[in-house]
Structure 1
Amino acid sequence: MSASQSALSRFPPEVLGECFLSCVDDRLPTIALDEAPVSLTLVCRSWHNIALTTPRLWARLSIEIWNREEKRLERIVSHMSKLLERFMAVPLTCSLRFFDDCSRSDEEIDQESVLCRPIIELLLQHAHRWSDVVIQSPDYVESLTSPLTIEAISFPNLRRLSLWGIDTDQLTLSLTPEQTPLLEALVVPSSALRLWSLNWSHLRSLHILDHEDDPEYLSVVFATLPSCSQLRELRIQCHCFETDEAIIPLQNTGRTVLLPHLTYLSLATNRDDLICAFTDKISAPALITLFLEGFDARHAPRSVISFLEHHSKTIETFDLGPRCKAGQTGLASLWKRLPNMKHLRLHHDASTGDILRSLIRHYRDKDVFEYQFLEELSMDVTPDILEADVFRTITQFLQAFIYLEQYDTLGLKTVHFRIACGDPGRGKHQEQDPHVQVASRLTETLQHLLHSGLLKDLDIEFVDERLCMKEQPRDGAVWTLDDPDAGYYLEHE
């Protein structure tokens, strides 16, 4: 049956246009020929015309560049140019992300920097349309012979901007309150805080990403934070190279920073002293969710304990990152400062058993009316959990934690597992797939707890292995739809 004879051909064009939009609602579409929206234009002439007259279909775009062959990059530039010029007046949501190959030689890096530059420049030409934009540059952007420049223009639609992997010395972008009247969310290196004169009080979300030789930027961050009085979400992610230099004296970072509206705080670093610096200087009386990554929980630094004590009445969700070293004594001191914790998220492997054991001891030793009992436990796991000793330890402690005799009516309600896979959409129903085996064994082991009513909900999710062992996505997050690493701990070898 031809397209003109089909039932779909009798649909009004505006209805088909809405159907086309539903094809890309849950993701940022790419320029691939076999994916919407481009694939919709190839079905028939009618669909081609309807797709091309639906502006919102072309206002969102994701470009991921892995292979940097010259001909392929030229095709990408050509396709991007056509799509970006399709509807010049429509605000643009775009994610441009480069992925590096560590095996490249210096000569290949120089060549690739020349090839990839037109792609970045093409997106910059449409900066006046930006609404929600991510630019994750290749590492070799620092080797460019001349910096990328955005002239002083207005960004009337810009609400969210994420620049990472880009050194601000290589991207000349001057932002002012007059240029960015709607800007509410930033993902930037700390150097941008010093260079830009934004109206910081308009920001609702700030994510600072740094990979520095030393932590001298700390004073810049603390100088800016007092102006961010309306922040709801704050993420500090920094990786300092190995250095013998101590953190600058805390007194040089100024007085305590009060963030009265902050409900979400994430601190991820590879240095204990940086965690201490921030927890010692930030006060957030409305804080609900706390993510910590990189401190040694075996000794529980004084500033972390003090921070938890000051926010013990409001913190309901605690997220413990994988690089937090677990220890019975340190963990016990953490739980004591979290009397209202309802949700706990763990991103650990073998040490998960130790964490669960410390929770069992904590709740068994406390009066039932003294602490809010944990309602939801979320754990990241990999197929390695099937190793006999690891699986037995984790599931035994998990079952014991779910069924604490004196709290049999107040026990854990929900357990959520995130299982890491290379491709979450493939192989879920193949019995030999190791990820499916993990899900099956976990379900089998905890099934009797579900039947008995002690556990209300067992949720098992397959996620991309790049997202496992990392901070979980935020509900209603301000980060762009196709930027999975924004808000997650960045891996550094």
Structure 2
Amino acid sequence: MTQVPFATPFTDVLCTNYTPSSEDKETIKTLLVAPLAQLTQFNDKISQLQHVLDSLKQERDVLDTAIKEHTRLLSPIHSVPDDVLRDIFCACLPDTHNAVMSCDEAPLILGLVCSRWRSVAYSTPLLWATLHIPLPSPISLPTDLNQPLIDHNLYDSRLEKHCTAIHNWLTRSGTCPLSISCIPANHSTAYDEARADQARCRRERYMKTILPFSHRRYRFELSISIRFEAINNALTLLSPASLPILTHLRLIFSPAITRAVDDGEGRAVHTLIQAPQLRILEIIPMAFSLRNVQRDWSRLSSIALVQSLHLPSPIGNFSTTEEVHYILTKCSNLSNRCTLYICNTSSEPAIQPTGSINLPYLRHLNIVEFSPLMNSSLRPLFECFSDISSLRSISYQNRQYVPHIKGESLISLLSHAGDQITHLCTTFNKYTTADLKTIFSLVPNLINLTENNPFNNALVYGTNVYPQVFSEDEDLIFFDVLTSSSGNTTILCPHLQSMEVINTAELDDARILSFIQRRMAAVHSHGIDPLRKFRATFKRPMEVDIRAALREYVDSGQLELNISYIPEQRYTEPQTFLDPRDGLMES
């Protein structure tokens, strides 16, 4: 029943379907005169109080703003000296790639905070000493009939502004050594070839923008996705002497580029490689022969002749055994890392390299063998190794898509390396049991072991997609050799402490769990070192909660366990006109 604050004869019929008579209607109207007047008074008082409340809120906000403004003056950041602020700003820069020209990231975002920060940021040369330049792709016809054609004049105007911004950016770097990457987002073969003239002119504009800063370049990443003459025209003013401090060079060639047939085609690229202080060289893929480059190869400390894992490439763009032998005999002072993708083809004559390879300072060697031949082997190359006394880490991958591969290449390499290897990475599931036992017996001091299965990647060789070739029981061999499950009286690799499994779908969780448990149990039964770290990445859902089963080791700190299950990711086409992160390659 509704509560009524005044006397009324209609209490019993309120909130009902009662229909008042004419006399009752007049009575109700007379009855409501006084309450309506009282309601008006209440509304007037509320309006007055609301006005007072609004006025108080306004005064409070003014006072609060003034207090906050004064409180900000007490903030420690205001008392930070400019030199300390510069160090803080430099710590905001990305550490895995060059800075990008985006207002959402350092250094540009630092200049949007306040006038002082902008002044400090723009007067700190080190903030502007790295830059990633996303080279624009040629204009393509719209795929949607309702999409308007791109205005070429507007497009060129925006690119001109971009080049001006690049020049201003690099000018702010003062005299600091520069790290620059020029990599387009689109590597499509037809895309570039069909509009090569258009692309060449625009790319030349970018190259000429950064040419005046060549003498300060110490790190340079360049993608060449159109014909050789385009890059030649843009870099004709360069000479080795104009690159006095260039120490890091990465060259990325489009699959559209076939191997240069003579010295003239790649002369501009040769100039970059001939930089006198060059120490680290990476070429993806091999689009020309390094035999034609005249330089002192012994000055290199790291070299990588790599084949792109994401794009198809002509088979001629692989390094051959003969070329690799030539380079390794020249690069006698390699110390950091050597990565080589080698291919033997059926059209290549049987090459037996001669001449010793001495790499006394090399610590890391990464070999990837591509071959359409069933019985391909790099043993003749590895037999030339004479001095690799500092080698501690070996990664060897054989990309032959057959159920099993011969282990003679890796066995030959390990035989020459001696027992000093502590890090080993390969696809162990591809070897026979006999080869596995030989391989692991050659590395008694192994500490870190990585099982890398490249066959789960979406790689393309020519026009054929690689098939899956594993049987469901082949992963048992790998684990059995490293445990006592087969009645082994001794366990190979007794000092193994860290293991990583990459790109694997075939190994199931139960077998992984069983291996770890058997290895940990052998600490007491066989006196081996305990497994302290295990990492795995599976491209499938979880089957067994491995962490829960190994909780006693994980909780006590005996085992660091990191297992992730990554769903398949789909590529999405970038939507922006020129994304500052296009083509970015994080190291």
Would the TM-score normalized by the shorter structure come out above 0.5?
A: yes
Say whether 1:378 aligns with 2:500.
Answer: yes
AA partner of residue 268 (structure 2): T
Instruction: Name the CA distance, whole Å, in 2 between partners of 1:408 and 1:457.
Output: 20
Cα deviation, 1:330-372, whole Å, max 9, x if unaligned, reads 322311222221110112377655422332259962536x854
- Select 2:184's aligned residue among 94, 98, 104: 98
Instruction: Name the CA distance, whole Å, in 2 between partners of 1:463 and 1:154.
Output: 46
| Contact 1:414–1:456 (8 Å) recurs in 2 | yes
Q: What is the match of residue 21 of structure 1?
A: 90
Say whether 1:129 aligns with 2:216.
Answer: yes
Structure 1 residues 117, 403: CA separation in 2 closer, same or farther (over 3 Å shift)? Answer: farther
Say whether 1:182 aligns with 2:182.
Answer: no
Instruction: Name the CA distance, whole Å, in 1 between partners of 2:293 and 2:212.
Output: 20
Say whether 1:414 aligns with 2:533.
Answer: yes
Structure 1 residues 164, 287: CA separation in 2 closer, same or farther (over 3 Å shift)? Answer: same
Identity of aligned residues (%): 20
Q: What is the match of residue 408 of structure 2?
A: 302
Q: What is the match of residue 395 of structure 2?
A: 291
Instruction: Name the CA distance, whole Å, in 1 between partners of 2:555 and 2:527.
Output: 14
Say whether 1:446 aligns with 2:569.
Answer: no
TM-score by length of 1: 0.76
What pairs up with 1:84-123 in 2 under 5 angstroms? 84-100=170-186, 102=188, 105=191, 106-107=193-194, 111-123=198-210
Q: Secondary structure at the match of 2:246?
A: coil
Q: What is the match of residue 393 of structure 1?
A: 511
Instruction: Name the CA distance, whole Å, in 2 between partners of 1:227 and 1:23.
Output: 40
Q: Secondary structure at the match of 2:176?
A: coil
AA partner of residue 164 (structure 1): I
Instruction: Name the CA distance, whole Å, in 1 between partners of 2:480 and 2:322.
Output: 39
Cα deviation, 1:207-240, whole Å, max 9, x if unaligned, reads 1235653468543432332232211144343365
Say whether 1:249 aligns with 2:351.
Answer: yes
| Contact 2:321–2:343 (8 Å) recurs in 1 | no
AA partner of residue 183 (structure 1): L
AA partner of residue 237 (structure 1): L
Deviation for aligned residue 1:18 = 0.9
Instruction: Name the CA distance, whole Å, in 2 between partners of 1:277 and 1:314.
Output: 22
Q: Secondary structure at the match of 2:87?
A: helix
How many aligned residue pairs are there?
Answer: 443
| Contact 2:175–2:216 (8 Å) recurs in 1 | yes
| Contact 1:212–1:240 (8 Å) recurs in 2 | no
Instruction: Name the CA distance, whole Å, in 2 between partners of 1:14 and 1:294.
Output: 52
- Select 1:213's aligned residue among 315, 321, 329: 315
Q: What is the match of residue 36 of structure 2?
A: none
- Select 2:247's aligned residue among 159, 166, 182: 159
**Residues 15-24 or 268-277, more deviating:** 268-277
Say whether 1:77 aligns with 2:163.
Answer: yes
Deviation for aligned residue 1:97 = 2.3
Q: Secondary structure at the match of 2:421?
A: coil
| Contact 1:300–1:331 (8 Å) recurs in 2 | no
Deviation for aligned residue 1:202 = 1.9
Say whether 1:341 aligns with 2:446.
Answer: yes
Q: Secondary structure at the match of 1:79?
A: helix
| Contact 2:305–2:319 (8 Å) recurs in 1 | no
- Select 1:355's aligned residue among 461, 466, 478: 478
Coordinate RMSD, CA, aligned: 3.9
Q: Secondary structure at the match of 2:116?
A: helix
Instruction: Name the CA distance, whole Å, in 2 between partners of 1:443 and 1:66.
Output: 47
Structure 1 residues 99, 276: CA separation in 2 closer, same or farther (over 3 Å shift)? Answer: farther
Deviation for aligned residue 1:376 = 0.8
Instruction: Name the CA distance, whole Å, in 2 between partners of 1:112 and 1:445.
Output: 58
Deviation for aligned residue 1:295 = 5.7
Q: Secondary structure at the match of 1:340?
A: coil
Instruction: Name the CA distance, whole Å, in 1 between partners of 2:188 and 2:392.
Output: 39
Instruction: Name the CA distance, whole Å, in 2 between partners of 1:103 and 1:147.
Output: 20
Instruction: Name the CA distance, whole Å, in 1 between partners of 2:390 and 2:502.
Output: 28
Q: What is the match of residue 330 of structure 1?
A: 435
Structure 1 residues 43, 67: CA separation in 2 closer, same or farther (over 3 Å shift)? Answer: farther
TM-score by length of 2: 0.65
Q: What is the match of residue 367 of structure 1?
A: 490
AA partner of residue 367 (structure 2): L
Larger radius of gyration between Structure 1 and Structure 2: 2
Say whether 1:269 aligns with 2:369.
Answer: yes
Q: Secondary structure at the match of 2:303?
A: strand
Deviation for aligned residue 1:117 = 4.0
| Contact 2:134–2:184 (8 Å) recurs in 1 | yes
Structure 1 residues 318, 21: CA separation in 2 closer, same or farther (over 3 Å shift)? Answer: same
Deviation for aligned residue 1:259 = 1.2
Instruction: Name the CA distance, whole Å, in 2 between partners of 1:462 and 1:116.
Output: 41
Deviation for aligned residue 1:291 = 0.5
AA partner of residue 127 (structure 1): S
AA partner of residue 526 (structure 2): Y
Say whether 1:258 aligns with 2:384.
Answer: no
- Select 2:325's aligned residue among 222, 225, 233: 222
Cα deviation, 1:43-94, whole Å, max 9, x if unaligned, reads 2211111001101000012234587664665554333222122234221012
Cα deviation, 1:106-146, whole Å, max 9, x if unaligned, reads 535664454444334433442221112222333x3458496
Q: What is the match of residue 312 of structure 1?
A: 418
Structure 1 residues 367, 462: CA separation in 2 closer, same or farther (over 3 Å shift)? Answer: closer
Q: Structure 1 unaligned segments of length 5 or more: list them.
A: 421-433, 467-481, 486-493
Q: What is the match of residue 124 of structure 2?
A: 54
AA partner of residue 430 (structure 2): K
Q: Secondary structure at the match of 2:242?
A: coil
